[in-house]
Amino acid sequence: MSVKDNHGYHMPPQEFRRHGYALIDWLADYALNVDQYPVLSQVKPGDVRATLPQSAPQIGESFEQVMADFERDILPGITHWQSPNFFAYFPANTSGPSILGELLSAGLGVQGMMWLTSHACTELESHVLDWVVDILGLPEKFKSSTDGGGVIQDSASSATLCALLAARERVTRFNAKEAGPNGRLVAYCTTETHSSLEKACIIAGIGLKNLRKITTGDDLAMDVSAFSSQIEQDKSDGLIPFFACATIGTTSTLAIDPVPEIASVCEQHRLWLHVDAAMAGTAAMCEEHRSLHRGVERADSYCFNPHKWMFTNFDCDCFFVADRQELINTLTVLPEYLRNPATDSGDVIDYRDWQIPLGRRFRALKLWFVIRHYGVEGLKHHIREHVALAARFVSWVNANDDFEIAASPRLNLVCFRHRSSEELNRKLLEALNKSGRLFLSHTTLDEKFCLRFCVGQTHTTEAHVAAAWRQIEGTANQLQSAS
């Protein structure tokens, strides 16, 4: 129990050590045993809350008690994103070095809003993001030694919003910052673009009716001639096209928009081109996938998430811009209490002007830890392993006449379906997830319900993928014979 001593009610250092060791042990064991838990939590709405006391404790409690309650009351309500049997959505994987980087960041408790408030927090971030430019084969113009630069955002949603805002300011010559957007600005994406762009258009006052979702071809990539025609149409209607988002690896199927062709249209009409490679970008570190980034050298901004497929725990999105001054001019507000000589000198980066919030954690530490622990070689090895496992899964689907591949498999994602009814596919997903033995998600392609199987969890091996496929086949057979 927490008692007042010469530390007041704070946790004394020797207690922190003791509980810290115990928690490190718990997490090491968790990583080893996480495949024993139901992947998708099996509790019902309200079950977790029902275990918790109505009021906060007046008197402090022991850490052992809190951890015991965590294990008894909270853990059953956890969906285990770190299970090797997690194949849903896109992964949000992590790793030992990343967890330790996050721990160090929490312990230092640095608030890196400006260079002045922690020099190293800013400089390590700029530096590691320059490394990332080289690792992924991104253009030099995204390096901090040029007019551009990189910054860590919490998510691709926030990166996309920042890109949209900078584009809005560029086209209005910074009038939107003063007077708001004018209701005539039009943004472009495709029917497959991530929903975060819709959210960004709502937030930034562009409005959903000014977001054009361009149709896609059979490959689910943008139909560039439709894009070009739509711009002409909008211009002739007196509207102002200003922003386009191309996706390298869409959420549904990892479709890849034709960035070079989109860039040509953007250049012709002076649109800001943002490229969202949230999950797939990581793969470009492998030479055989480097072509994913074809055309990115012509983009105004780009983002990908190490917190998806690069062993760096959420949150860590790397966002790059070709002209950092456009972003800074958009988001800067400098009240007296934040003025300081370093900022006034212009010699330093103040990352508060590169993001939505003011404050920020020292997130570069975990990314630095991950890159140094694995080395580029180690990262590539595991990405290749995941891609190979997905290919093996494809071969198994193809070998079973009851199933079909629903979209060209790419990288680590397989969309597939049972050839029978829509209903069976829905029941199959529900039964698999209810089993707790694996977790898949779904999408709709050609108005058909499809299952998505994404291999990206840190500790997934062939055994997990094979077991998942056996479970899928077996459950489908059971459902079919029951129907």
Which residues ranging from 315 to 374 are in contact with a second copy (CB under 8 A)?
A: 315, 330-331, 333-338, 342, 345, 347-348, 356-359, 361, 365, 368-369, 371-374
Instruction: Look at residues 331, 7, 340 and name the one whose alpha carbon lies nearest to residue 151.
Output: 331
Q: Which stretch binds a second copy (CB under 8 A): 88-96, 220-228, 261-269, 397-405?
A: 88-96
Minimum gap (Å) between residue 88 Cβ and a second copy: 8
Query: Does position 72 bind a second copy by CB under 8 A?
Result: no
Query: In what side-by-side order are the strands of the sheet with 317-321?
Result: 149-153, 317-321, 301-304, 272-276, 240-247, 185-190, 211-214
Taking each helix axis as running N to C, give the angle between helix 364-399 and helix 96-108, from 0 to 180 degrees, rounded to the nearest 10: 150
Minimum gap (Å) between residue 325 Cβ and a second copy: 16
CA 273 to chain centre: 19
Two structure tokens written together for 375:
């080395």
Query: What are the distances in angstroms from CA 143 to CA 118, 125, 134, 158, 371?
Result: 21, 12, 9, 20, 18
Q: What is the DSSP string of 70-123?
A: IIIIIGGG---TTSTTB-SSS-----HHHHHHHHHHHHHT---SSTTT-HHHHH
Minimum gap (Å) between residue 138 Cβ and a second copy: 13
Instruction: Look at residues 260, 292, 254 and name the one whose alpha carbon lies nearest to residue 273.
Output: 260
Which positions from 277 through 296 interact with a second copy, judged by CB under 8 A? none
Nearer to a second copy, 161 or 265 (CB): 161
Nearer to a second copy, 158 or 230 (CB): 158
Type of residue at 72: R
Nearer to a second copy, 173 or 209 (CB): 209
Query: Does position 259 bind a second copy by CB under 8 A?
Result: no
Query: Does position 43 bind a second copy by CB under 8 A?
Result: yes
Minimum gap (Å) between residue 80 Cβ and a second copy: 8
Q: Are 239 and 211 in contact (CB under 8 A)?
A: no
Query: Does position 161 bind a second copy by CB under 8 A?
Result: yes
Type of residue at 30: Y
Nearer to a second copy, 445 or 467 (CB): 445
Nearer to a second copy, 372 or 470 (CB): 372
How many residues of this chain interact with a second copy, rule: CB under 8 A? 164
Nearer to a second copy, 104 or 260 (CB): 104
Which positions from 227 through 256 interact with a second copy, judged by CB under 8 A? 251-252
Minimum gap (Å) between residue 261 Cβ and a second copy: 25
Nearer to a second copy, 70 or 260 (CB): 70
Which positions from 102 through 121 interact with a second copy, judged by CB under 8 A? 102-104, 106-111, 115-121
Separation of alpha carbons 40 and 80, rounded Å = 7
Query: Does position 56 bind a second copy by CB under 8 A?
Result: yes
Find the binder of a second copy among 27, 239, 391, 467 (CB under 8 A): 27
Type of residue at 444: T
Instruction: Look at residues 89, 468, 123, 473 and name the one whose alpha carbon lies nearest to residue 314.
Output: 89
Q: Are 48 and 73 in contact (CB under 8 A)?
A: yes
Strand, helix or coil at 359? coil
Minimum gap (Å) between residue 37 Cβ and a second copy: 11
Instruction: Look at residues 398, 431, 389, 433 and name the one whose alpha carbon lies nearest to residue 416.
Output: 398
User: Residue 275's beta-bridge partner residues?
Assistant: 246, 302
Q: Are 444 and 77 in contact (CB under 8 A)?
A: no
Nearer to a second copy, 17 or 229 (CB): 17
Find the binder of a second copy among 39, 99, 221, 413 (CB under 8 A): 99
Which positions from 181 through 210 interact with a second copy, judged by CB under 8 A? 181-183, 185, 194-196, 198-199, 202-210
Nearer to a second copy, 441 or 471 (CB): 441
Which positions from 4 through 23 interact with a second copy, judged by CB under 8 A? 4, 8-11, 13-17, 19-21, 23
Q: Which stretch binds a second copy (CB under 8 A): 126-134, 236-244, 288-296, 465-473?
A: 126-134
Nearer to a second copy, 298 or 452 (CB): 452
Give me the residue label for tokens 């294990």: 71
Instruction: Look at residues 100, 97, 110 and name the one whose alpha carbon lies nearest to residue 351.
Output: 110
Instruction: Return the percent helix, strand and coil in the chain, to nearest 5.
Output: 50, 15, 35
Which positions from 165 through 184 interact with a second copy, judged by CB under 8 A? 165, 168, 176-183
Which positions from 408 through 447 interact with a second copy, judged by CB under 8 A? 441-444
Find the binder of a second copy among 260, 267, 375, 478 (CB under 8 A): 375
Find the binder of a second copy among 324, 382, 410, 437 (CB under 8 A): 382
Q: Which stretch binds a second copy (CB under 8 A): 127-135, 320-328, 388-396, 475-483?
A: 127-135
Minimum gap (Å) between residue 428 Cβ and a second copy: 15
Angle at 436 between CA 434 and CA 441, to 5 degrees: 65
Nearer to a second copy, 183 or 260 (CB): 183
Work out whether the CA dihedral 349, 95, 249, 201 comes out positive or negative. negative
Minimum gap (Å) between residue 73 Cβ and a second copy: 8
